[in-house]
Structure 1
Amino acid sequence: MYLNVPLRAYRVTGRVQGVGFRWFTSRAAKELGISGTVQNHPDGSVRVHARGALAVLDQLEATITRGPMAARVEAVERVEPSQTVKADGFRIERA
C-alpha cells in the first residue's frame, strides 16, 4: 500500500520559478521512479511532494539542490507535507 512508502515535502527557494525548475524536478523524479507533485507558490518558492524509497528520495533531494542550469537554488528545506501523494506517477501542478 502506498501509505507505507515514505513521503517527503520540500520548499525550494532562490531563483526557481520561470527557469524550468518544475520540469527539471518532474523529469528527475520520473527517472527515479518517484511519485508526487511539484508546484510554484505565490511566495516565489517551489514545493515538492515526493513518495518513494528513502534512497531515491535522497537522490531527488540532491538533484533539486543543484537544480537546472538557469536556476539558483538558495535552500531546500524539508517541510511538513500538505497533501497526500498516491503512488501513481509524478506531475507538475498549476500554482
Structure 2
Amino acid sequence: MPRYTLAERLRNRIGPLVVPHHSAGRRLQDPSLKLMLQALGFEWVIALHEFERIALADWAITALPLLGEHSDLDIQGKAGSHLCIDGRSAGC
C-alpha cells in the first residue's frame, strides 16, 4: 500500500490557503510559510501583509499584527486574523 503524505491527501480538497507574510531579508528568523506550503504542493497560497484584506461576496479576512511573544524580534510571520462571515465577525 503506498504511503501518502498529509499534503498529498489534502491538496486536492483545499482551496486557497491564507498565511501571514514574512520579512524577506530574515529567512532564518522569519521563514516563509507560503514557500513551505508551495514546496509541499499547495498551489494556491496567499500571503497577507498586516491590515491587508481579502473580501468575497459573503466573507472577508483581514490580517492583524500579533504583538504577543517575542515582540522585540522582527518576525512578521506571526499574525492574527479578523474574520467576517455573513455579517458576523471574530478575531483570532
TM-score, normalised via structure 1 length: 0.29
Ranked by relative contact order (alpha carbons within 8 Å, sequence separation 6 or more), the top structure is 1
TM-score, normalised via structure 2 length? 0.30
> Larger radius of gyration, structure 1 or 2?
2
More helix by share: 1
